């Protein structure tokens, strides 16, 4: 399991989710964002043994659950940090859910979405504020 | 919250502590699967000091326990260990417990932590008319479970006597401490459970860990017991379930006249409407406690089996669909997962 980290280039939702927003020159009003769970989330869950990402085309609403991750012991909802439509999913998690533990900000990404309300970014936390929220 | 004698040891070993029945207990150390496999392949050590103990002593002790416990207490020899249920009049299960016969007139019963107070009250309520003392011993004992193919060999290194064989118990000295060594466990592996004074527990723990026992937490204890198809009270057993439907008719001896025997006899004769079965999910997914079975029934325990690599569990299903090989459909939070009724235990060591 990787050491605790909260990369500065990400935006954070207090329910322990991150978003990496990438500008899209072709559609500047609706950038894409990659979503995942934070180091803290995977550490609290322990070894993740099952994750089935939702289908491409699914609509996400900020603050609402859009996926589930399961440890040996329990199921947890994954909360959408931003609203949008899923354009890609990390299918490798079905076979290798441990990537969520090993590399939560890299190979453990969950979905990529096209944002429907980019203004929602204002409501998310930066790394320092998220880290402070963990107490 | 009550702190077990080994609290500091667990924190030092990196345990994540959780509240369980009023105690702060280690749920896991390094990782559940690693701890699980250590027990299956070598040796794990569990602190289960939250479990309670009731001592029943006196000329009428055997008669009192014969009335309380579902198994034939009279048939238990000195130094014996016996699994039984504690039932209400209607056959509903109050607890499942192991009793050790320490002497002809002295017994020690191990209770589930969450049930201890209620059990003790039940014991005392029914002790009137029996020449027996009922003693709460929960504060007098710490309890360590040392489990796995190498467990006996490892514990034996600390002992100057041959360890109690399976399903027996003997008081002896271990690393200088007085210990009741019991040939019992909750993992499906060989091993022993050690009942000892809380003050001696850290020393015995240290000696066993130093010799290679892997600290294992409640999470691994749960996956191990589920692969072995041992019941967990509160999940698979409750006041609403009869021993027969739980598949525990084998430890109910109605002829002894225990409390609940007529109800158990009636269900045995008529056949229960539902039965507790073991299942494995056919594809991906993990069923959990409370997931409904399509067409009737409910999952009472579910997890990912570290040894089998699939979702497994126990579920009450209509008796007509309880045969090994029967297909089931389980509603896992809105997704229908196909599963198959499996033989118990779910995991058996290759011979």
Asked if residue B179 is part of any domain, the answer here is yes
Largest CA distance in chain B: 58
| B23 in the same domain as B94 | no
Of A12-21, B23-32, B204-213, which range is least confident?
A: B23-32
Asked if residue B148 is part of any domain, the answer here is yes
Share of chain B above pLDDT 70, in %: 100
Q: Which residues of B touch A68 (CB under 8 A)?
A: 333
> Which of B222, B187, B218, B165 lies closest to B40, judged by CA?
B187
Q: Residue B39 maps to which CATH number? A: 3.30.1360.120
**How many domains is chain B built from?**
3
**pLDDT given at position B3:** 85
Mutation target among A42, A73, A91 for the B interface, most CBs of B within 10 A: A73
User: What is the interface size between A and B, counted as CB pairs within 8 Å?
Assistant: 39
Q: What is the mean pLDDT of chain B?
A: 96
| B130 in the same domain as B72 | yes
Q: Residue B289 maps to which CATH number? A: 2.40.30.110
| B312 in the same domain as B277 | yes
- pTM value? 0.93
In B291-320, the residues whose Cβ lies within 8 Å of chain A are: 303-304, 306, 311
**pLDDT given at position B263:** 98
β-partners of residue A115 are A84
| B327 in the same domain as B215 | no
| B287 in the same domain as B179 | no
**pLDDT given at position B4:** 85
| B221 in the same domain as B146 | yes
| B113 in the same domain as B61 | yes
Tell me: pLDDT of A1 over 70: no
What's B207's DSSP letter?
H
Q: Do B304 and A75 touch (CB under 8 A)?
A: no
Mutation target among B34, B39, B284 for the A interface, most CBs of A within 10 A: B284
Share of chain A above pLDDT 70, in %: 99
Asked if residue B300 is part of any domain, the answer here is yes
Q: Do B284 and A75 touch (CB under 8 A)?
A: no
How high is the ipTM of this complex? 0.82
Compute the CA torsion angle B182, B187, B191, B195 (nearest 10 deg).
-30
The residue range of the domain holding B178 is: 2-49+141-226
Average pLDDT on A11-18 reads 97
Of B187, B202, B226, the residue that ends a domain is B226
- CA atoms of B137 and B215, how far apart (whole Å): 25
| B78 in the same domain as B111 | yes
| B112 in the same domain as B37 | no
Q: What is the pLDDT of residues B222-267, one digit of tens each?
A: 999 999 999 999 999 999 999 999 999 999 999 999 999 999 999 9
Q: Do B222 and A68 touch (CB under 8 A)?
A: no
Asked if residue B81 is part of any domain, the answer here is yes
Q: Which residues of A touch B288 (CB under 8 A)?
A: 74-75
Tell me: pLDDT of B351 over 70: no
| B162 in the same domain as B188 | yes
Average pLDDT on B280-300 reads 97
Asked if residue B135 is part of any domain, the answer here is yes
Asked if residue B264 is part of any domain, the answer here is no
> Rounded to 5, what percent of chain A is helix, strand, coil?
20, 35, 45
| B165 in the same domain as B24 | yes
Q: Which residues of B touch A47 (CB under 8 A)?
A: 31-33
**pLDDT given at position B249:** 98
Strands (E), chain A: 11-13, 17-22, 32-37, 48-51, 59-60, 65-71, 75-79, 84-89, 111-115
| B135 in the same domain as B97 | yes
Q: What is the pLDDT of residues A93-125, one digit of tens each?
A: 999 999 999 999 999 999 999 999 999 999 999
Of B211, B226, B241, the residue that ends a domain is B226
Q: Residue B98 maps to which CATH number? A: 3.30.70.1400
All domains of chain A in start order, with CATH: 11-133 (2.40.50.100)
Asked if residue B100 is part of any domain, the answer here is yes
β-partners of residue A17 are A13, A37
Q: How confident is the model at residue A2 (pLDDT cuts 50, 70, 90)?
A: low
Mutation target among B18, B26, B33 for the A interface, most CBs of A within 10 A: B33
Asked if residue B251 is part of any domain, the answer here is no
Q: How confident is the model at residue A73 (pLDDT cuts 50, 70, 90)?
A: confident
């Amino acid at each position: 399991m990787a050491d605790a980290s909260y990369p500065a280039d990400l935006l954070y939702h207090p329910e322990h989710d991150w978003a990496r927003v990438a500008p899209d020159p072709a559609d500047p009003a609706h950038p894409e964002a990659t979503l995942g769970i934070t180091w803290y989330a995977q550490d609290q869950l322990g070894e993740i043994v099952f994750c089935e990402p939702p289908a491409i085309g699914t609509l996400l609403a900020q603050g609402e659950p859009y996926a589930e991750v399961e440890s040996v012991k329990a199921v947890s909802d994954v909360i959408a940090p931003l609203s949008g439509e899923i354009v890609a999913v990390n299918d490798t998690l079905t076979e290798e859910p441990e990537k969520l533990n090993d590399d939560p900000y890299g190979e453990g990404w969950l979905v990529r979405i096209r944002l429907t309300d980019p203004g929602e970014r204002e409501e998310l936390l930066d790394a320092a504020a998220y880290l402070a929220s963990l107490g | 919250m009550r702190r077990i004698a080994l609290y500091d040891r667990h924190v030092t070993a990196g345990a994540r502590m959780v509240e369980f029945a009023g105690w702060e207990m280690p749920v896991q150390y390094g990782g559940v699967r690693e701890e699980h496999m250590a027990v299956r392949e070598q040796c794990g050590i569990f602190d289960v000091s939250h479990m309670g103990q009731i001592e029943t002593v006196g000329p009428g002790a055997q008669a009192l326990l014969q009335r309380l416990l579902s198994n034939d207490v009279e048939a238990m020899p000195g130094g014996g260990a016996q699994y039984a249920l504690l039932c209400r009049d209607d056959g509903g299960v109050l607890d499942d417990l192991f009793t050790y016969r320490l002497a002809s007139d002295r017994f020690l019963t191990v209770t589930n932590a969450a049930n201890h107070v209620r059990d003790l009250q039940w014991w005392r309520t029914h002790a009137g008319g029996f020449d027996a003392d009922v003693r709460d011993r929960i504060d007098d004992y710490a309890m360590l479970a040392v489990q796995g193919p190498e467990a006996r060999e490892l514990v034996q290194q600390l002992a100057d006597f041959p360890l109690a064989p399976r399903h027996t118990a003997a008081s002896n000295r271990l690393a200088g401490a007085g210990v009741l060594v019991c040939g019992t466990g909750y993992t499906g592996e060989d091993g022993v459970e050690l009942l000892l004074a809380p003050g001696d527990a850290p020393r015995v723990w240290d000696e066993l860990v130093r010799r290679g026992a892997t600290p294992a937490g409640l999470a691994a204890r749960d996956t191990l017991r589920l692969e072995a198809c041992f019941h967990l009270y509160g999940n698979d057993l409750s006041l609403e379930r009869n021993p027969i439907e739980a598949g525990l008719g084998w430890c109910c001896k109605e002829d002894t006249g225990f409390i609940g025997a007529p109800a158990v006899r009636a269900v045995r004769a008529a056949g229960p409407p539902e039965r507790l079965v073991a299942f494995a999910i056919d594809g991906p997914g993990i069923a959990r406690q409370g997931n409904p079975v399509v067409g009737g029934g409910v999952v009472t325990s579910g997890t990912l089996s570290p040894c089998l690599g699939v979702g497994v569990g126990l579920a009450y299903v209509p008796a007509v669909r309880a045969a090994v090989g029967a297909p089931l459909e389980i509603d896992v939070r809105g997704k229908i997962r196909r599963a198959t009724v499996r033989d118990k235990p779910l995991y058996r060591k290759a011979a």
